[in-house]
Amino acid sequence: MLSDPIAALATPPGRSALAVVRLSGQRAFEVAAKVIEGFTSRHPRVALLASFHVPGGSTIDRGLYTVFPGPHSYTGEDLVELSCHGGLLVPTRLVSALHAAGARPAAPGEFTRRAVLNGKLDLVQAEAVGDLIDAIAPNQARAALRQLEGGLSRRLAELREALIETEALLSYDIDFPDEDDGPVSPAQIAGRIMDVAGRIERLIATSGSAERLREGALLVLAGRPNVGKSSLFNALLGSDRALVTEVPGTTRDTIEGHTDFLGWPVRLADTAGLWDSPDQIDRLGIEVSRRYLSAADLVLLCVDAGREVGSDERTITQERSSILVRTKSDLALAAGEGLPVSVVTGAGLGELRRAVAERVFADRISLADLEPALTRERHRIALSRARDALTDALACLGPVGEPVLAAHHLRQATSALEELLGVVDVEEVLDRVFGSFCVGK
């Protein structure tokens, strides 16, 4: 059943001052009345103090509950939020009491899924809920909030509207082919399609940096053993996560750390010895390093400040998007090129962070986040499908055109946008989107 009552802990389990439990569904108030002493739904969106107890049994806690009658709730259904003391026992007992009273444990993402099904959020906004919760950097959170407020959704809805209108004009042409004065000529219809295709193309162009913003840009530290990669890794992360060692090539695994540079999210990877080594284990390390290098959004190629840049190192700077970092600048003056840094004095670290942010998030910075952007592969794939369908539609609109086929392609483009927004109820799409959510969301 879609609207049966569900209940789950909405805050993380473990020791905390407070915990919040959510209950939603058609009979949510009946369930609540069995657990909350003196329960009333007559005061919506007001916190009320009450005792919570096992149905017909002992008291669990005293806390606050807030009633949100549907459709004016997160899920669009009758919803109750109970806030109790935190810790391991109390919230678990409260959730069990709600289950004993007739609610079913919620599946991961089920509250947000219901919000989508009840038209409170579209799919793109639902994804933004997850992104906001997972954000570790301020700019990431800001972008998620914009998406949640509907920036991207509005843009997609406008495109869908424009396509539906064009479809209507085209079907007029199909239904009354002999009328010379159709409402709009095929050339004008083609013009409209090209306009929408251009707007879609501009959205697709945002996907690189916007996906990077959601996932964090992958920065790979590369360079010869002992050049100071692990030390730089630690200094940039601001914690002692990586093993710092003086023995050449002993950092065998690639270590990742997450942080932000000036508010922009980065994933920092310290690769094992990239350079040839007779040791078998190091070979494995080299394999991993190469995979990381090809996946990197930016390579931080580390070369000792006191040494010339070698030809192998030069190759990397030429082949990949990279910044040449001259390490240990406290020991020697950097020979010419590159950005000198020292983890001992801290010199150059701020400049390096700024240079990285400006390189990998250049277009996000210049757009100042005002323009909606595609933050997921799912968005990019759907819009590419829409764009291809529009290209096909245009091809059918020539002088010896086939308007029926053109209309078919227009419909394909519209459905790609609809699937993206979740306008059509596609269970499979919902499963994919909500598969990664946590319980209580």
Tell me if 231 contacts ligand GDP by CB under 6 A: yes
Task: Out of 330, 363, 371, 392, point to the residue binding ligand GDP (CB under 6 A).
Answer: 330
Q: Following DSSP, what letter does each residue of 371-405 receive, concatenated?
A: S----SHHHHHHHHHHHHHHHHHHHTTSTT--HHH
Tell me if 340 contacts ligand GDP by CB under 6 A: no
C-alpha span between 316 and 184 (Å, rounded):
56
Tell me if 246 contacts ligand GDP by CB under 6 A: yes
Tell me if 328 contacts ligand GDP by CB under 6 A: yes
Task: Out of 2, 194, 331, 362, point to the residue binding ligand GDP (CB under 6 A).
Answer: 331
Tell me if 22 contacts ligand GDP by CB under 6 A: no
CB of 210 to ligand GDP, least distance (A): 32
CB of 272 to ligand GDP, least distance (A): 9
For residues 52-65, b (16+ Cβ closer than 10 Å) or e, as one string?
bbbeeeeebbebeb
Strand partners, 349: none
CB of 321 to ligand GDP, least distance (A): 21
Stretch that binds ligand GDP, among 30-38, 73-81, 102-110, 337-345 (CB under 6 A): 337-345
Tell me if 244 contacts ligand GDP by CB under 6 A: yes
Tell me if 230 contacts ligand GDP by CB under 6 A: yes
Strands 255-261 vs 264-270: parallel, antiparallel or unpaired: antiparallel
Tell me if 303 contacts ligand GDP by CB under 6 A: no
C-alpha span between 184 and 40 (Å, rounded):
59
**248 upstream amide cis, omega within 30 of 0:** no
Alpha-carbon torsion, ordered 76, 79, 85, 91, to 10 deg: -90
- Total residues interacting with ligand GDP, rule: CB under 6 A: 19
Task: Out of 76, 86, 151, 228, point to the residue binding ligand GDP (CB under 6 A).
Answer: 228
C-alpha span between 172 and 31 (Å, rounded):
54
Tell me if 245 contacts ligand GDP by CB under 6 A: yes
CB of 217 to ligand GDP, least distance (A): 21
Task: Out of 342, 375, 414, 415, point to the residue binding ligand GDP (CB under 6 A).
Answer: 342
Tell me if 440 contacts ligand GDP by CB under 6 A: no
Stretch that binds ligand GDP, among 117-125, 208-216, 322-330, 425-433 (CB under 6 A): 322-330
Tell me if 226 contacts ligand GDP by CB under 6 A: yes
C-alpha span between 375 and 121 (Å, rounded):
17
Stretch that binds ligand GDP, among 177-185, 239-247, 307-315, 317-325 (CB under 6 A): 239-247
Tell me if 227 contacts ligand GDP by CB under 6 A: yes
Tell me if 326 contacts ligand GDP by CB under 6 A: no
Q: Hunting for tokens 């439990």 — which residue is that? A: 21
Stretch that binds ligand GDP, among 126-134, 199-207, 238-246, 283-291 (CB under 6 A): 238-246
φ, ψ of residue 389 to 5 degrees: the values are -65, -35
- Gyration radius of the chain's alpha carbons: 28
Name which of 293 and 386 has its Cβ closer to ligand GDP: 293
Task: Out of 166, 327, 414, 415, point to the residue binding ligand GDP (CB under 6 A).
Answer: 327
Alpha-helical runs (H) found in 135-254: 138-148, 151-175, 186-204, 207-215, 229-237
φ, ψ of residue 185 to 5 degrees: the values are -75, 155
Task: Out of 89, 194, 295, 344, point to the residue binding ligand GDP (CB under 6 A).
Answer: 344
Express the helix, strand and coil content of the chain in percent, nearest 5 each: 45, 20, 35
Question: Can you read off the two tokens belonging to residue 281?
Answer: 């284990």
Strands 339-340 vs 322-327: parallel, antiparallel or unpaired: parallel
Question: Can you read off the two tokens belonging to residue 63?
Answer: 């806390």
Tell me if 386 contacts ligand GDP by CB under 6 A: no
Name which of 193 and 227 has its Cβ closer to ligand GDP: 227
Contacts with ligand GDP, residue ranges (CB under 6 A): 223, 225-231, 244-246, 251, 327-328, 330-331, 342-344
